[in-house]
Amino acid sequence: MHDKREEELGQIRIERPFYEHKQLREDFQYEKPKRPNAAREWKENLRIKKVFIGFFPILDWLGKYNWKKDLFYDIISGITVAIMHIPQGMAYAMLGNVAPVVGIYMAFFPVLIYLFFGTSRHNSLGTFSVACLMTGKAVIQHSDPAYFDSSGNSSDTEPTGYSPIQVATAVTFVVAIVHFIMFVLRLGIVSALLSETLVSGFTTGAAIQVLVSQIKDLLGLSIPRFKGYFVNVYTLVAVFEEIGNVNVAALIISFVTITISALNNDYLKPIIAKRSPFPFPMELVAVVVGTLVSKYCNLSEQYGVNVVGYIAVGLPSPAPPPFALLSDVIVDGITIAIVSYTITLSMALIFAQKLDYEVDANQEAFAMSLSNFFGSFFSCMPVCTSLSRSLIQQVVGGVTQLASVVSCLLLLVVLLWIGPFFEQLPKAVLASVIVVALKGMLRQVLEFWKFWKLSKMDAVVWMGTFLTVAFVSIDIGLLCGICLSLASIFILSFRPYTCLLGQVKDTDFYLDVKRYKSAKEIDGIKIFHYSGGINFATKTIFKDDLIRLVGINPQKEVVYRAKLAKYLEMAEETKPPTKTLNKLERVQNKVNTDLRCLVLDFSSVSYIDPSGVTMLKSTIESFTKLDIPVYIASCKEPVYEMLTKCDPEYCSKAGFRSFPSVHDAVHYSTELFRSSSKSSITTVRL
């Protein structure tokens, strides 16, 4: 029965008259779509309920929350994420060149704001290595050097300029402003500028930046902090110059911490994952054990190991960022805003697709704007979604952002009472935690070969972004990556796919004759397929490819035919010279008499501008002078409207003959050939 049904489907035929585009519009009542009424749409969007739920997504999912079923999983998820926040927050705060406790602040204040305004139910906001490193660059650039000694620790010299946390909060405030502008202007689509290739190269290069920045703490070296471009290069040179002064105790601590953490990630964690949904908190264990060993062995005084130092107890007092500094950090703020928003939105979309709920890109920008704005008054750096924490929050069973409430409550206990416990924590332990966390990002180097195999252009974008980020600067690297991505799009637009189409026998399929052996060209008809836009920049490419594939240059063909007529007239003489006969033969070989009709398949033409229309008109007229009619097929409505709009008078005289499909154009041409063979004057009814 099934085979019979397939046989019947294979024999279905659709019979209809062939149409020209004008006739199609008349017969099927074409009407140009009206633009939406902006006032009515705005009024619709301003409905109180819609606005309230739109600005406070928590009201949407909280009303559907299953307190008996979901609360337990959110509590477990919140506890797990809070345990991850402590070591990661302290470690990544070091990347920002601010006090370790700032990382805990970032996991508390902004997260509470995101709870109410964010649309993702699984994003774990807080510290992220790339965002913190980019902020740290601005901190070093604009804070008073007196706040740091040569080793990067707090200095005893009385500073007079901006403190590191003031610079960090100024950057956070700028990031909040940029996110708010993105929300107002509905620029959530700006994240599309950061392709998968660019993000991979950027994050891999940033991982190299992070790794190099931690070498001094891993080895216990005292080297200056560098500003500007090529910081990694200068840092590596300084490390090699000071390599003889390595602190052996710090090196041992780093080696032990990295080794145990790596073994845990590669061997112990998979085993535990099979038996328990809760990951083993190796990072927290390393931090606690490192603190205890440092405290009771007095590593700081006896062996000169750098430790975290003073940690403030309680919550920070609200204070506005230094507004006079905003203009100086605006470039850093814009760069961090784009990167943090892209990473946050990408993670939100991944979880939304996986768990079947919706995420609003513009509302995410608004949520991040408020989170950073609030955080800038409470000693926070710009926040970003962490890939690892978000994944853990979802895998452990977290259902909604109520898990963040549980996490914040536990972190509040740390801020109020437990914080001073970590004052003797060696910086080498935190540096080791960062390095182990970079493994996944560093392994992205292997993705270069994947991009190389898929597209050489993507590989160039990846490598250019990676090298610039890793060795020049993060912000310059991001700009370089965006420019390379846009350049690749621009270059690819100059390489449109063009081919000649042939018909598959007894079907209305028209396929590339070079790719499909069953597709054969129709005698006397050339079907030229063009994929891309036809504009002022690509019009020459369109014309050159058309002439190359069709095999006729109308300008030269006119000259050849004129010469042929001249030599034929001379050949009619009695006994024409041999020289004339030779010229006649050569010109006859150049003249193309096989082509009787040219069909332009516009099914993949996305856009045409006035320059393209002018070129097309000129091309059609040049072929028409050779008695070769040119028909346009499968033209999109916006393209057809542009053709008729640019030259209405020409179109009214049937200048652009357009058909809704290639088959219609071919059918019309063959009927025309058949009729013209019977009579010199024939009317073909559409």
CATH number at residue 542: 3.30.750.24
First vs last Cα of the chain: how many Å apart?
41
- Separation CA 128–CA 386 (nearest Å): 5
Mean pLDDT of 60-76: 87
Q: Are residues 210 and 248 in the same domain?
A: yes
Amino acid 535 reads N
Tell me which residue range forms the domain holding 666. Answer: 497-552+592-678
Q: Are residues 170 and 314 in the same domain?
A: yes
Mean pLDDT of the chain: 84
pLDDT at 281: 86
Report if residue 9 sits inside a domain: no
For the record, the structure tokens of 128 come out as 């992220």
Q: Are residues 286 and 305 in the same domain?
A: yes
pLDDT score of 433 more than 60? yes
pLDDT score of 567 more than 70? no
CA Rg, the chain, in Å?
Answer: 35
Report if residue 7 sits inside a domain: no
pLDDT score of 94 more than 60? yes
pLDDT score of 32 more than 60? yes
pLDDT at 279: 79
pLDDT at 402: 92
- Given 489, 517, 535, the domain boundary residue is 489
Report if residue 563 sits inside a domain: no
For the record, the structure tokens of 526 come out as 């050339």
pLDDT band at 150 (very low <50, low <70, confident <90, very high): very low
Are 545 and 619 in contact by the 8 Å Cβ rule? The answer is no
Are 197 and 451 in contact by the 8 Å Cβ rule? The answer is yes
pLDDT band at 494 (very low <50, low <70, confident <90, very high): confident
pLDDT at 324: 93
For the record, the structure tokens of 369 come out as 């704007």
When divided into structural domains, the chain yields a total of 2
Q: Are residues 605 and 632 in the same domain?
A: yes
Q: Which residues contact 286 (CB under 8 A, 6 or more apart)?
A: 87, 257, 260, 261, 429, 432, 433
Report if residue 322 sits inside a domain: yes
Q: Are residues 93 and 76 in the same domain?
A: yes
Amino acid 520 reads K
For the record, the structure tokens of 132 come out as 């913190």
The 10s digit of each residue's pLDDT in 173-205 is 999 999 999 998 887 666 666 788 888 899 899
| CB count in 10 Å sphere of residue 560 | 18
Instruction: DSSP letter for 384, please.
Output: E
The 10s digit of each residue's pLDDT in 382-418 is 999 998 899 888 888 889 999 999 999 999 999 999 9
Report if residue 484 sits inside a domain: yes
Q: Which residues contact 591 (CB under 8 A, 6 or more apart)?
A: 557, 560, 561, 564
- Separation CA 665–CA 105 (nearest Å): 69
pLDDT at 561: 67
Q: Are residues 461 and 507 in the same domain?
A: no
Q: What percent of the chain stands above pLDDT 90?
A: 45
The 10s digit of each residue's pLDDT in 614-630 is 899 889 888 888 888 89
Query: 315-329, 331-345, 586-600, 623-637 — which is least confidently predicted?
Result: 586-600
Report if residue 584 sits inside a domain: no
Query: 75-79, 449-453, 490-494, 508-512 — which is least confidently predicted?
Result: 490-494
152/343: higher pLDDT: 343
Handedness of CA 34, 37, 42, 48 (dihedral sign): negative
112/190: higher pLDDT: 112
The 10s digit of each residue's pLDDT in 8-29 is 444 545 566 767 777 777 777 7
Helix axis angle for 361-376 and 164-184, nearest 10°, is 150
The 10s digit of each residue's pLDDT in 576-612 is 666 655 655 665 555 556 788 999 999 999 889 889 9
pLDDT at 170: 97
Helix axis angle for 129-142 and 164-184, nearest 10°, is 120
Continuous segment of H or E residues that includes residue 547? helix 539-550
For the record, the structure tokens of 42 come out as 């705005």
pLDDT score of 297 more than 70? yes
pLDDT at 422: 92
pLDDT at 686: 35
Q: Are residues 467 and 328 in the same domain?
A: yes
Report if residue 116 sits inside a domain: yes
Beta-bridged to residue 519, according to DSSP, are 504
Q: Are residues 169 and 257 in the same domain?
A: yes
Q: Are residues 504 and 637 in the same domain?
A: yes
pLDDT at 151: 46
- Separation CA 520–CA 39 (nearest Å): 55
Q: Are residues 484 and 504 in the same domain?
A: no
Mean pLDDT of 49-59: 69
pLDDT band at 646 (very low <50, low <70, confident <90, very high): confident
pLDDT score of 267 more than 80? yes
Name residue, tokens 């290595």.
Answer: 129
pLDDT at 50: 54
- Separation CA 668–CA 525 (nearest Å): 11
- Separation CA 481–CA 461 (nearest Å): 6
- Given 466, 489, 512, the domain boundary residue is 489
Q: Are residues 434 and 532 in the same domain?
A: no
Q: Are residues 352 and 481 in the same domain?
A: yes
Report if residue 479 sits inside a domain: yes
pLDDT at 550: 87
Query: Concatenated DSSP letters for 4-33?
Result: HHHHHHHT---------HHHHHHHTT--PP
